[in-house]
Structures are given as structure tokens and as C-alpha cells.
Chains A and B, each alone.
Chain A
Amino acid sequence: MKEELIISGRMNPNIDPVLHLWHWEIPVYLFLGGLAAGLLFFAAFYVIRDEKDRFPTAVKIAPILAPIAIIIGLIALFLDLKHKLFFWRLYTVIRLESPMSWGAWVLMIITPLSFMWVGGFLKEVFPKIDLKKGFSSKLLKLVFKESEGEVNWKWKYNFLETFEKFIIFRRKELAWVILFYSLILGVYTGILLSAFNARPLWNTAILGPIFLVSGFSTAAASIMWMSKLPEEKKWFSKIDIMLIIIELFFILHLFMGFLAGPQVQVDAAALFWGGQFTVYFGLFVVILGLIMPAIFEVMELSGIHVHISIPAFLILFGGLIFRFVMVEAGQITRYLY
């Protein structure tokens, strides 16, 4: 029998008896970051390929979620900070070795870019805005003013009108920039965890690609859910099936890697195979979050009608649970005792 224990009564909050420093904030942040990255990627990608009219939801409508997701994600991240008043310290230095640092900077850059993207399509998406009645009109009047014509509004300030024209004129260039940063953001959400070698579950390079693919998969699911065009729906359904297959392959790879690894990683894998995370991971992430939606989507493509909201919801839900599981389980895995 082997017995290992801390006998000096150490009970540091959030560290003992097992590390539990990160709660809901970080998984939510990672989920929303991945979702935003995917949404922006698809939008930029199809603009670059000049297919914005073929995939209007992906290019114009779904990206509206991106800045919202990023802002909520940043709020979650801020809530996670224990020394909040010093958060500005993030922006006094760039530390490329620290994913947390370059993540903060990427978000700093991609947030305004996402607003610019959405703003550039706003007149196309919402040609009519009611600025006459209700409480919401008062808020909207802060940035919009009434106008005549096809589009019944204008930006309140002329420089915004000018800026909008510039964005529309340079949309492709903007798309390239967003494409670049969305990839970094997507990779970052995975690398954030895998940078922490101290947690055997996270100590694997495959985590970055998994999170990237998973993020893109949630984005594709959102687009196909929001889209009203059968062709666009079908197309993103196909993309999604492909992403799910890749993700499943990566997950398989992840566990094979663990089982071939040192004991601490074998132990980490055991959490998912008969351990306390088996149900969450096996049922919610793999079966309900990946396999079932893939089957539904294949059924839909082969003509058996399944309401699109079901696979889409399952994918989003599975993606969120996946991040919760990885953050929670990762903190349990350790090298000592």
C-alpha cells in the first residue's frame, strides 16, 4: 500500500485539497472565444473567395454574434481575475511566451475588427431601423440618425459614414486581417491550456488543434442554424460533419497519446475512462455533442428531415461542456501525490 498525504494541514483556498482555481469563467471564455474565432473566420474566408452572396448568413449575419461573444468572454475573463484593479497591467507588456498575454492582445485587436466587420454590413442587414418609438430608439439614436431612402438611417457622425465607406471599399483587406487574427484566436483558446505543462491532461500539443476545430464546428453549427437558405444550410452542414470527424479523430489521438505517455497521463486519461468525468465526456461531449449531431446532419443531407436546431444546439452544447470538462479535469491532474 502506498499512502501520500500533506500532513502540515495546508489548505490554501482553491489549491487544496485539489486545484480548483478556475471555475465557470474560463470555460465560458474559451467557448465564446472559439465560437467568435470560427464565425469571423468563415465570414472573412467567403469574402476573400468572393462568395459573400452565396453565404450571406455566414458573411453578414452570423458575425454579429462575434463581438457579442467576445465582449461576454472578456467579462468572464475579467471576473476570473483575483486582482481585478490591476487588469490594465496586461496591456503594459507583450509577453509572447505567455498565451494569456498574447491572447489578451489578440482580443484587443480582434474586438474592434469584429465591430468594423459588423458595422460594414449593417446597412445591408438592417436597412430599416425604427428610431421613432420606444426605449430602444433612444439608445439607437446615440449612434444612428434618421434618413430617407432604401436605408432609413445613417450614422450619427459623419466620420462614421466615411469610415464605413472605407471599410466597404477595403473589405477584402480587412477580411485577410480578420482571417489571420481569427486563426490566432482559435488556436489561442486551445493553447491557453496546453501551455500549462504542469497539468498532465493539458500537456499535449493536440489540444490546440482540437479547440480550434471545435470552435469552428460551433461556428459552423451557428451559421447553419441561423441561415434561411437551403444551399447555405447544406453547405455548412457538410463543413460541420467534416469538422466533427476531424475532432473525433483528434480526440482519439489525444487519448492514444495519453495512454502511451507517462503514468500521470495514463491517470489523466483514466478520468475519462471509468473515472469521474466518464459520463460528462462520453455522453455529453462525444455522443450528444459530436456523434449524434453528425448522424442527424447526415440524415438531413440524405433527405430524412431533422430540424436543424437539434444538431446545431447539440454541437454548441457539446462544445461548451467539452471546455468545462477539460478545464475541470485538467486541474485535477497533477504530477505529485
Chain B
Amino acid sequence: MRYAMAIDTKKCVGCSDCVVACQTENNIPLGYARDWVTETINGVYPSLQLEFRSERCNHCDNTPCVRTCPTGASHVIEGGIVKVTHEKCIGCGACIQSCPYDARYSSPEGWVDKCTFCDHRLKDGQNPACVEVCPTHCMYFGDLDDSNSPVSKVMANRKWKVLAPEAGTSPQIFYLI
């Protein structure tokens, strides 16, 4: 099993609903965010391109954060989800330094926090909160090893890219372009 997410930049309007839904679902303290939205503009008025991306931990296949963690607090669970065990984390920051996506942060308590793909929801057969709330239905989630999952199906029919592939982490959030 390999969980992954595909996000359709043709539909995303950059509304940040994914961000606030994550914050409420996961009880994130004010001032912190596990996911975020970027806007990229290219060109000169009036020939312009604009891309919105909802970004988060890429739950990479090659995980520098897990590799550099000195205590094993950062680890990979079934489905390739990268998680942090709070009681093992010493807050050294190695994983934060090693993430090319800046997807991790120190929680106010000191341990490092990040996107979990809402694994507590996956257990109940639900999608991550961000996917479930998106008014544009621009996010597709599922198991890449299952060719019938929403993410496999949409990726089979669309062009996609990943962010910072040159960082060599084999990210698992795909942007449909």
C-alpha cells in the first residue's frame, strides 16, 4: 500500500480551506499550520500564468527526515505515511533542516509536528480532512498500489509534476498540470 495525493492545479482556487480544515480537525494551535497554499505568477500583464498549490508534507519515499532523526521519533508507518512519535522526539531540529519542503515545525510543546495524512481518519475509511473539505474537489487521495483508487485513476489520465524533484526525496504529492 502506498498512500499518495494528487492535487489538480487546474481546479484549485487557492482558497485555503484545506488549511483551516486541517487546523480544526487536528486541533492545531493558533499560529501553526501543517499545510499551506502557494501562488505562483509568471509573465507580464496581460500574458500571465497563475498556479495555486495546496502544499504539505510530501510523505516522501526517500525520507531525509526519518534518516536524520537521531532517536527514531520520525518514522514511516504503513502506506508510507511519515509520522513523529512525540515521546521520542527531542526537538533537535534535524528533521526540520532536512526537509526541502519546510513541512515540519516545532510545536509549542517542543516536539516536531507535521501532516499525518489524517491517519486517524484513514482508519475509519475517511479521506484526510483537507481532501474532504475542498470545495473544488481538486484533491485526490488513495493507494497508488490500487489502480482503482481515485489518485491512481486521475494520475493515469493527467500530466503531473512533483515539487523539488532535484532534492531527491521522491515526493508523493503530485500536482496535476
Contact = CB atoms under 8 A, between A and B. Distances in A.
Direct contact of A and B (CB under 8 A): yes
B100 interface: yes
A233 B117 CA distance: 61
A35 interface: no
Interface string B89-123: 11111101111111011100111100000000000
Nearest to A2: B42
B110 A21 contact: no
A37 B131 CA distance: 51
Interface in A94-121: 95, 97-101, 103-104
Interface stretch (A58-66, A75-83, A237-245): A75-83
Interface stretch (B3-11, B65-73, B137-145): B65-73
B64 A197 contact: yes
Interface string A1-37: 1111111111111111001011000000000000000
B71 A92 contact: yes
A15 B16 CA distance: 19
Contact of B110 (A83, A92, A100, A334): A83
Contact of B39 (A4, A82, A101): A4
A235 interface: no
A83 B109 contact: yes
B177 interface: no
A55 to B, nearest CB: 36
Task: Give the interface centre of B31, B98, B112 by most chain A CB atoms within 10 Å.
Answer: B98
Given A2-B40, A7-B16, A21-B106, A100 B31 contact: no
Contacts of B43: 1
Contacts of B86: 83
Contacts of B39: 3-7
B70 A104 contact: yes
B36 interface: yes
Interface string A44-83: 0000000000000000000000000000000000001111
A16 B111 CA distance: 18
Interface of B: 14, 16, 19, 31-33, 35-44, 52, 64, 67-73, 86-94, 96-102, 104-106, 109-112, 163-164, 166-168
8 contacts: A6-B36, A7-B14, A8-B37, A14-B96, A15-B102, A22-B97, A82-B93, A82-B112
